[in-house]
Amino acid sequence: MARISIVGLGRVGLATGVAFAKLGHEVACYEVDASKVDAVRGGRSPYREKILGEELRKVLKKGNFRATDNAGDALVGSECYFICVGTPPLDDGSMDTRFMTDASKGVGRAIKGRKDFPVITVKSTVVPGTTEKLVAPMLAKESGLSHDAFGLCMNPEFLREGTALEDTLKPDRIIIGSNEKRPGDVLEQVYSRFESVKWRCDIKTAEMVKYATNSFLATKVTFANEIANVCASFGLDSDKVLEGIGLDSRINPKFLVPGAGFGGPCLPKDMKAIISASKSLGYKPLLLEAVLEFNERQAARVVDMLERELSSLDGKRIALLGLAFKAETDDVRDSRALPIIHELLRRGATIVAHDPAATIAAFGTDLAVKQVSGIRDALENVDGCIIQTSWREYKELDKEDFAMMKHQIIVDGRRTLDGKKLPKGVIYRRIG
């Protein structure tokens, strides 16, 4: 079993650390945010996750997992380091490498003078070339070691919010990017208890696999949205059509659920970063750009559908159900709720919002939106309703709930309700 240091207690760092500790490794996590460290030490996951908190408490009790904001304490003497810090977007969409730089410096200082070949692995999503051009030189500079005195790997993550630990423990594949055999072998050994396929490649390829995966998923969702929109023009049931194509094993049914578009902290950000990096190298990725543009229009399309039913949105009171970018999370980053809110306000509507977990304040910008805590309070006396997140609570909406509305018009942006089972009098429209 290895002594492992994790840098960054974001969702990825925490899930990775808990997974490694669960499988027997000795794990020390370093995080600059003391409030996160306190939560984790107290056995509380700072993130809304299914089993992460429970499993965290188990490894804390077992004694082979700890968290600290003291870099020396967490980083000195480990055999393997995993850099799991965020790579948020800059204003132009390109990747902000600030946290990567800090993390690389911290690890560099911690491995100063080492003669036992520590292996440093980048798990953060970084554009191809970052590990070799930014992380490696920083490690060498801060540690005073030559490049062959430490190992370097890139090991992207594919976990989804809400199921972070499950996805970390049972990924479809473990991508091990290394330019030399020795560090790749060390990393493969660290993962030896994971049953998933281990796939080896060079560092830059591993970096790109992550972007290509998220770009594909975003494109697949967009394709489903496009087909659903085309089906609507033909008066066809797009669910049936998408079910039909999903039976082709080359396509499969996953990520084919149409709706208001994809959101979240990863898919849009990663697409913007790879588009920006690619353009800076002289290639304009037309398809990827179109996917992003389509995604913006899809959100506006939801509002168009409601406007069509009401003739005009000016002066209308609209309920917005769901602020989070998907169900089972309180995360609103790049949520499609935001473009929907902007469109509704631009067209003169007033908005009453509801979400079981996310808040309007989390958007971090002043929005003229009233948030209420009860679903019925949101529906009371409204001219129409948009469902933006497919929370379980919304799937259970019933006759009494709809009766609160002045006009029982629902535009379902997430395939949340079954239109055939709704009470008489409810006008139900869904995207596609």
Judged by the rule CB under 6 A, the positions of this chain that interact with ligand UGA are 157-161, 214, 217, 221, 255-257, 259, 262-264, 266-267, 325-326
Q: Which is nearer to ligand UGA, 155 or 214 (CB)?
A: 214
Location of structure tokens 């304490």: 73
Contact between 261 and 299 under an 8 Å Cβ cutoff? The reply is: yes
Q: Is 201 a catalytic residue?
A: no
Query: Shortest gap between Cβ of 210 and ligand UGA (angstroms)?
Result: 7
Burial 228-245 (b: 16+ CB within 10 A, else e): bbebbeeeeebbebbeee
Q: Which is nearer to ligand UGA, 66 or 336 (CB)?
A: 336
Single-letter residue type at 28: A
Q: Which is nearer to ligand UGA, 191 or 255 (CB)?
A: 255
Q: Which is nearer to ligand UGA, 64 or 214 (CB)?
A: 214
Say if residues 94 and 276 touch (Cβ distance below 8 Å). Answer: yes
**Least distance (Å) from ligand UGA to the CB of residue 386?**
14
User: In one letter, which amino acid is 324?
Assistant: A
Integer angstrom CA distances of residue 220 from 19, 160, 246, 272: 29, 16, 11, 17
Minimum Å gap between C-beta 418 and ligand UGA is 17
Q: Concatenated DSSP letters for 230-244? A: HHHHHT--HHHHHHH
Q: Which is nearer to ligand UGA, 336 or 347 (CB)?
A: 336
Nearest-approach distance from CB 258 to ligand UGA, in angstroms: 7
| Helix, strand, coil abundance in the chain, percent, nearest 5 | 45, 15, 40
Of 29, 153, 266, 385, the catalytic one is 266
Q: Please, which residues have CB within 8 angstroms of residue 131's CB and are 6 or more apart in sequence? A: 122, 152, 154, 177, 203, 204, 207
Closest approach of Cβ 162 to ligand UGA, in Å?
A: 7
Q: With 0-12 CB in 10 A as exposed, 13-18 as middle and 19+ as buried, what is 315?
A: exposed
**Which residues are the active-site residues?**
266
